[in-house]
């Protein structure tokens, strides 16, 4: 992998992405992402997840009208009935409150009052989310991510955490299969669904071409 490969995949000038070259290369070496097929799949996923290596933190700044669509079990807007849900207007452009509510009591997080949802919101190249994953990654990487979660915004930690999570989901085995189905399985394991599937596949095909990987 060269800087111009990252530039091509992200659609950004080399000068804007070359600082990522060493951290990503080191993470791929550490976690056995060491064939053209593995590199192509890994880079396609992290480039999509991070908006071209731009976003190292989840964007939770929502307009009220979007909240019931994204989290229909949590929020409503009049004239709909509450049915036990919260008024979305109270969480408009309020990322901290939103994170604490939607991530409460799951993924190892405590209740909304604990602040865990905000502290352990999605960060890194593959956005780790939730206290449990932060703790597991921290132990594996020998980083104190529970007390310093913001470390995942830095290139080295962001890349290593992405490599660790890739290993956690058996990403190399899925990348080795190099089928559309196996790549879709990677997307679900990383994203929880198939959001951005078309762009991810376009990036994958582009990376396969760059690295002469077999489709």
Torsion sign across C-alpha atoms 173, 179, 184, 185: negative
pLDDT for the residue numbered 27 = 97
Q: Are 128 and 161 in contact (CB under 8 A)?
A: yes
The 10s digit of each residue's pLDDT in 141-151 is: 999 999 999 99
Overall pTM > 0.75:
yes
Q: Is the pLDDT of residue 215 over 70?
A: no
Mean local confidence (pLDDT), 41-54: 96
pLDDT for the residue numbered 213 = 77
Residues 6+ apart with CB under 8 A from 94: none
Q: Is the pLDDT of residue 48 over 80?
A: yes
Domains of the chain, CATH where assigned: 3-56+154-210 (1.10.530.10), 64-119 (no CATH)
The 10s digit of each residue's pLDDT in 158-194 is: 999 999 999 999 999 999 998 999 999 999 999 888 7
Mean local confidence (pLDDT), 106-134: 96
The 10s digit of each residue's pLDDT in 51-100 is: 999 999 999 999 999 999 999 999 999 999 999 999 999 999 999 999 99
The SS3 call for residue 94 is coil
Mean local confidence (pLDDT), 195-205: 91
* Residue 74 tokens, joined: 């949590």
Cα separation, 60 vs 11, whole angstroms: 25
Q: Is the pLDDT of residue 212 over 90?
A: no
pLDDT-derived band at 195 (thresholds 50, 70, 90) equals confident
Show the beta-strand stretches assigned E in the chain: 75-76, 86-87
pLDDT for the residue numbered 42 = 97
Average pLDDT of the chain to the nearest whole number: 94
Q: What is the DSSP string of 35-57?
A: SHHHHHHHHHHHHHHTTTTT--B
Cα separation, 55 vs 186, whole angstroms: 20
Residue 5 vs residues 2, 8, 13, 122, 206: alpha-carbon distances, Å? 5, 5, 11, 26, 10
Quote the percentage of the chain above a pLDDT of 70: 99
Q: Is the pLDDT of residue 214 over 70?
A: no
Nearest Cα to 101, choosing from 47, 59, 109, 93? 109
């Amino acid at each position: 992998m060269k800087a111009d490969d990252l530039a091509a995949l992200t659609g950004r000038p080399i000068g804007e992405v070359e600082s990522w070259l060493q951290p990503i290369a080191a993470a791929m070496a550490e976690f056995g992402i060491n064939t053209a097929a593995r590199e192509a799949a890994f880079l396609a996923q992290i480039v999509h997840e991070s908006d071209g290596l731009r976003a190292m933190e989840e964007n939770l700044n929502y307009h009220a009208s979007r909240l019931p669509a994204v989290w229909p079990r949590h929020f409503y807007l009049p004239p709909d009935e509450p049915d036990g849900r919260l008024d979305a207007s109270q969480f408009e452009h309020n990322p901290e409150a939103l994170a604490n509510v939607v991530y409460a009591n799951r993924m190892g997080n405590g209740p909304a009052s604990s602040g865990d949802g905000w502290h352990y919101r999605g960060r890194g190249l593959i956005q780790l989310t939730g206290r449990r994953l932060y703790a597991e990654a921290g132990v594996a990487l020998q980083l104190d991510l529970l007390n310093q979660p913001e470390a995942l915004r830095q290139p080295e930690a962001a890349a290593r955490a992405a490599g660790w999570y890739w290993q956690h989901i058996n990403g190399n085995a899925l990348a080795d299969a190099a089928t559309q189905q196996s790549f879709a399985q990677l997307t679900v394991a990383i994203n929880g669904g198939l959001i951005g599937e078309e762009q991810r596949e376009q990036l994958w095909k582009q990376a396969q071409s760059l690295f002469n990987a077999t489709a």
